[in-house]
Amino acid sequence: MPADADAGKKAVVLVSGGLDSATVLALAAAAGARCYALTFDYGQRHRVELEAACRVAQALHAVDHRVVKLDIGWMGGSALTDAAMAVPHGPYVGIPVTYVPARNTVFLAIALAWAEVLGAPEIYIGANAVDYSGYPDCRPEFIQAFEQLANLATRAGVEGHGFHVLAPLMHMSKLEIIRTGLQLGVDYSLTVSCYDPDAAGRACGRCDACCLRTQGFSAAGIADPARGQ
């Protein structure tokens, strides 16, 4: 890992443009990190989130923000990347079709590489195991396993400059996430959480992401400020 007096203050933060990742970016900054935001253009149908990610990164003063084109949609297998698959609007059983195969594994691998180049010992992700869609790569076991991999598979890890993969929202409800973000000054009007927005970028209000977000703001007793949410 490059010698850098500020190394302990650097962090790579995955920023999708949604409510959770905006809160994570704010938490990382509040912890004293110099935040390097990382967003992926992976062929997602809900591309309005890319614009939201740029707004969030700028508003929360990320040191740098990279939008990386990494098209994994060609393989299909998810309603978020395959136009032939419908985004579910309603209850489901098991892991939903909005699960993107190995998405967080791929994203964290790229984040890890950038973190090693930057000399950033921390990687933040907005994974959550309470109010979430049942994705296997949002569980604490996955985060722990990836952190172990990160420290086995990198020169920095082998040389004793290991990494921590932080998921500060892991055990928080949407209500708790929203309250935390508001305390940190997050402007949720900048964020987008919908899996199936219309051509104008307005939220559908019926997909799982919309429902979880709506429930969170309702529990908080405040109106969702985001456009179309």
pLDDT at position 38 is 98
DSSP state of 219: H
CA neighbor of 225 nearest in space, from 181, 188, 177: 188
CATH class of 7-220: alpha beta
Query: Starting from the edge strand earliest in sequence, which strands make up the sheet with 34-41, in order?
Result: 64-69, 34-41, 10-14, 122-124, 164-166
**pLDDT average per 10 residues of sequence, the chain (229 residues):** 53 97 98 97 89 97 97 90 86 83 96 98 95 85 98 96 97 96 97 87 88 94 81
Length of the chain in residues, anyone? 229
Give the whole-angstrom CA distance, residue 28 versus residue 26.
5
Give the C-alpha distances (Å, rounded to integers) separating 213 from 50, 100, 105, 220. 18, 20, 24, 11
User: Could you tell me if 48 and 197 are in contact, meaning their C-beta atoms sit under 8 angstroms apart?
Assistant: yes
| Three-state helix/strand/coil letters over 106-170 | HHHHHHHHHHHHHCCCEEECCCCCCCCCCCHHHCHHHHHHHHHHHHHCCHHHHCCCCCEEECCCC
- What is the dihedral angle through the alpha carbons of 3, 8, 13, 19, rounded to the nearest 10 degrees? -170
Which amino acid is located at 218 in the chain?
S
- Domain assignments of the chain as residue spans, ordered by start: 7-220
pLDDT at position 13 is 98
pLDDT at position 47 is 86
